[in-house]
Amino acid sequence: MLKKLLGLLVVIALVVTGLYYACPEKLVKLAVEGERAAASLSRHEIDVAGLKYVYLEGGKGEPLVLIHGFGADKENFTRVAKFLTPRFHVIIPDLPGFGESGKPADGIYTVASQVERVHALVQALGLKTVHLGGSSMGGNIAASYAAKYPTETASIWLLAPAGLGTAPPSDVELSLKDGGRNPLIASNPDEFAAVFKFVMADPPFLPRRFIDVMGRTAVANHELNAKIFQQIRSEPPLESRVPGLTVPARIVWGDKDRALNVGGAKILAGLMPNASVLILPGIGHLPMLERPREVAADYLTFRDGLKAP
């Protein structure tokens, strides 16, 4: 019996090894599906005003819409969602222009436009008042959504939100200022591997072939990503939209963030009377990927505090 079991394990190991080298795309797909299943999330599609939206959904409770950042997609939130779906109805869309959602070549992908698209999606799903969370660009969208629709926003969870014009310069800003390349946009697989290291100080382990598979998608969207980045940079800063916003807000930032300077946390919190801040030591730009359990626990505490008398 033991020999049969060992033989089976050897066969499985050989199959996995073969897939890793011959068809890494299949292993990545299996890994993605496994992460979704662990978080009790399922994939859905919906057409809203002629535009295709793909989103993940799972859990029961108050609706929590999580919005990914620039150059990312819905899968950025699956690890942290595992700790959230037991309490909340979690919805994680691919924003138009990213992931599996529609990407009109002539589309406008500013934060203001994405706010309206997220609002349209929320309405199409039959939701009224929602809690919002967002990473980087998604945090800018979440905060701007709350400013535009404060009576429809119960709270906002801002993970290193982008868009602050008065924050100290980040490594991204310094690179662009000196005429260097954008460290957030990859034009080849090696550059994507560099992006992966740039945005996280303590990234989860991923085999290089998995990173290369993800990189091929990023490289294919290189021109669109460059266009979207320029559209976002042309907008007024977040400081112009949120002063006096009373929607409860939790701001989370890693002190090793190279994409957006952690000094933005204090600036943003100073503009919103019901905002609080958590600075995570040793963490980069994507806290929900680098420390999903810790970040989720902090968020649950924040949400519990909203119910306190």
Active site includes 155? no
From the candidates 68, 89, 131, 285, give the one annotated as an active-site residue.
68
From the candidates 89, 131, 135, 136, give the one annotated as an active-site residue.
136
Q: Which residues contact 205 (CB under 8 A, 6 or more apart)?
A: none
Tell how strand 51-58 and strand 89-93 pair up. antiparallel
Active site includes 222? no
Please give the structure tokens belonging to residue 130: 């929602």
Produce one character per residue of 2-36: b if its CB has 16 or more CB atoms within 10 Å, e if not.
eeeeeeeeeeeeeeeeebeeeebeebbeeeeeebb
Active site residues: 68, 136
